[in-house]
Structure 1
Amino acid sequence: MSRVSTVYLLTCAAIGVATGLLVIPATAFSTLTYAALPPLSALAAGAWVIGFVVAMRLLERPGAALLTGLISGLVATPLSTTGPAIVITNVMFAAFIELPFLVTLYRRWSRWLYYIGAAVLTVLYAAWTVMAADMQAFPAWVLALYVACLFISGLGAVALGILIADRLRRAGVAKLARRRPAIEVEPVAEPA
């Protein structure tokens, strides 16, 4: 199943729309609380992770998180407080969720790979936001709480995304869009 199928694209689109609708209020909440209450703002960060984990876990196909990220960004753009920049944010978050699977050349689909992607994302996002927003002006305990809330939100979102994807899979959702394991064919003996 090397081709991209319509059912795969539609599944990514459905997850992307749901993620986009989730990200719109999360962006507004994060924007409102970011400057005054960074730890509270950090709790919304998981909204960007859930859909990408669901897409990767449910489909187990290369590009599922990235395509879902692009679609969710496009859906969120008209109503997002950040405008078109939300597309870049969503694709960036999706890339970090997909990166561990790319490193394994999409041969491993272990749960811990989702957590590694989210942890790397959290570390880099925390470093970037602390520098970009000049958060060094806050007391050290606020920064520590901010980073802790980012980790709680991101890793909690991974757990929730895995739970949702596993339940959808058990219900038979996206069965045709999923990766199929390689089937070993036994050679047929030639007649003598």
Structure 2
Amino acid sequence: MAALTPLAVLQRGGTGVIGAVAAGVVTMVSPAGPLILVMMAFFGALTELPFLITRYRWFGPRTLFFAGLGLGVLSCGISIFTYDLPSMQPALLVLVCGGQLLSAVTGSTLSYAIARALRRAGIGSSRRRTTGV
């Protein structure tokens, strides 16, 4: 949600990377230390990929869903190799990857709901184009 929520609210390119790096700054106290900033910037850039493909024109629930799902798949792949999940019980692989995919889809849904609520409150982008004078 660190990258999806800024993208959904502000609807501008680069806000996903900025949001993810800001979340990385908060979590720098983790064992990964400053390396977490690089990882979060990478995740933020990957989150923006579906929006980049649409040339930052579509910020609806479908694009947010695909961005979240992509991160869920990536997270599952990282977990498979990091924790050597295939060598463990198959149920554990299903549980870990299923939980990560469900979490990613839930996060994208919540990001969209937060963005809608903030727009109703007058915060964020309405993406209305004004004509020149």
Indicate the TM-score class for this superposition, using the shorter chain for normalisation. Answer: 0.7 to 0.9
1:52 pairs with 2:3: yes
* Counterpart selection for 2:16 from 52, 65, 72: 65
Distance in 2 between residues matched to 1:98 and 1:179, nearest whole Å? 19
Q: 1:15-164 maps to which residues of 2 (within 5 A)? A: 50-77=1-28, 79-164=29-114
Distance in 1 between residues matched to 2:59 and 2:47, nearest whole Å? 12
Question: Larger radius of gyration, structure 1 or 2?
Answer: 1
Distance in 2 between residues matched to 1:74 and 1:112, nearest whole Å? 29
Equivalent residue number for residue 182 of structure 1? 129
- The residue type paired with residue 79 of structure 2 is T
The secondary structure found in structure 1 opposite 2:78 is helix
Distance in 1 between residues matched to 2:127 and 2:114, nearest whole Å? 20
- Aligned length in residues: 133
Identity of aligned residues (%): 26
TM-score, normalised by the number of residues in structure 1: 0.63
- 1:132-169: per-residue Cα shift (whole Å, max 9, x none)? 22222211111011111011111111111111121112
Q: CA deviation at 1:70?
A: 1.7
Over aligned residue pairs, what C-alpha RMSD do you find? 1.9
Q: CA deviation at 1:59?
A: 0.3
- The residue type paired with residue 109 of structure 1 is F
TM-score, normalised by the number of residues in structure 2: 0.87
